[in-house]
């Protein structure tokens, strides 16, 4: 993985309070290139009955909060993970713990 990509991943992880360890194994360069993130902001509303807010933009991320249909969320970044799933980084604007929500559970306002 190029040094610039490692730096971006480290910066992103630090920004959401995660620590990368030396034991982390990175995906092959072809799949690593599939991860795309962009800093953009906006608001979402939750469309699912309930949805987890996670520490990472994968379903394996630890759940830090749960939101419910109709809740409003503010997001500051969006990422498409290596599986092609779009996730939003939500902040505490509306009282939700900072973390990632899957786009299938929310819609942009």
pLDDT one-digit tens code per residue, 75-102: 999 999 999 999 999 999 999 999 999 9
- Tokens 């995906």 belong to which residue? 27
The fraction of the chain above a pLDDT of 90, given in percent, is 68
Residue 32 predicted with pLDDT over 70: no
Q: Among candidates 72, 73, 54, 56, which has minimal Cα distance to 64?
A: 54
Beta bridge partners of 77: 39, 89
């Amino acid at each position: 993985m190029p040094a610039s990509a490692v730096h971006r991943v480290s910066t992103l992880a630090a920004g959401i309070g995660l620590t990368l360890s030396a034991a982390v194994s990175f995906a092959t360069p072809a799949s690593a290139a599939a991860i795309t993130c962009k800093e953009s902001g906006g608001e979402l509303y939750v469309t699912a009955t309930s949805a987890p807010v996670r520490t990472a933009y994968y379903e394996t991320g630890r759940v830090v909060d749960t939101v419910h249909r109709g809740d409003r969320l503010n997001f500051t970044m969006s990422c498409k993970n290596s599986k092609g799933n779009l996730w939003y980084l939500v902040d505490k604007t509306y009282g939700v713990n900072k973390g990632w929500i899957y786009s299938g559970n929310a819609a942009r306002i």
